[in-house]
Every structure is written in structure tokens, then in C-alpha cells.
Amino acid sequence: MRKSIRTLAAALPLAAALPLLVAPQASAAEKVCAGGSLMGGRTTTAGVTADQVIHIKVHNHDYRGLALVIRDVTRKKQLWKGVIAPGKEHTVRTDVFGEPPIGYEIAFDVTSNLSNNYTYAISSARCY
């Protein structure tokens, strides 16, 4: 009887800690580093100093489609090219290996020139 109580007492802390160990870890909250409106038929460039991973979200508030190219000017690469449906949004994730803070220069080439009802937000875990 005493041995089973000792065994139970020894296993109790492990049983209490096990759900904490296997629980999903909360990710860092994203902060919006830059954002604004996009003009139709123009290229808008946004400069951001942020962490290694950024998320670029573009929202089409218009009732027509948005044709768009998102480019990383600093690293000379195209991140995304496509059309965003009316009332929808598209998110692009990009990351860079290096020690933060990292400078990004993102260009939004809007080829739709019928409206100015588009917005963007660049977010990261840390903005500098």
C-alpha cells in the first residue's frame, strides 16, 4: 500500500507536466510594420526594417479583379504574380537568412487601372 502511494506521488508531477509539454506553442504576435493604399496603374514601393520573416497581405476592396506583381527590390526577385478576386485578399510570406534587423524594399506593381480601392500591409514578429 505504501509503495503504491509513493509511486502515485512520484507520477503525479509528470502527469501534470505532460499536457504542458505537448501543448502547441504560441507563436509571436505579428505587428504591422507598414501599410497603406495602392494606386491603380502605378508602382508603390514600401521600405521596411523587420525580422527575418515578413508577411505581405494585399486586399482588394473593389468589385473588379486586381492584377498585381509583388517584388522584393532589394534581393531582385519576384515574390508573387497574379490576380486577386473582388473582395478577397492574398498573403505572401518571404524570409531572409541573416541577423535582424533586415531591410526590405517591396514593390507593388498594380496593372489594374480602374480603381484605387486596394490596400496592403507588411507584418512581422518585430519591426525596427
- Read off the pLDDT of residues 58-74 as tens digits, 9 standing for 90 and up: 999 999 999 999 999 99
CA distance 31 to 36: 15
Q: How many CB atoms lie within 10 A of CB 121?
A: 18
pLDDT at 9 over 80: no
Give per-residue pLDDT as tens, 75-84. Answer: 999 999 999 9
Quick: pLDDT tens for 85-106: 999 999 999 999 888 899 999 9
Please give the grid coordinates belonging to residue 25.
Answer: 506553442
pTM of the model: 0.75
Residue type, 117: N
- How far is residue 32's CA from residue 29's CA, in Å, rounded to a whole number? 10
Alpha helical stretches, state H, 1-128: 2-22
Residue 38 has pLDDT above 80, yes or no: yes
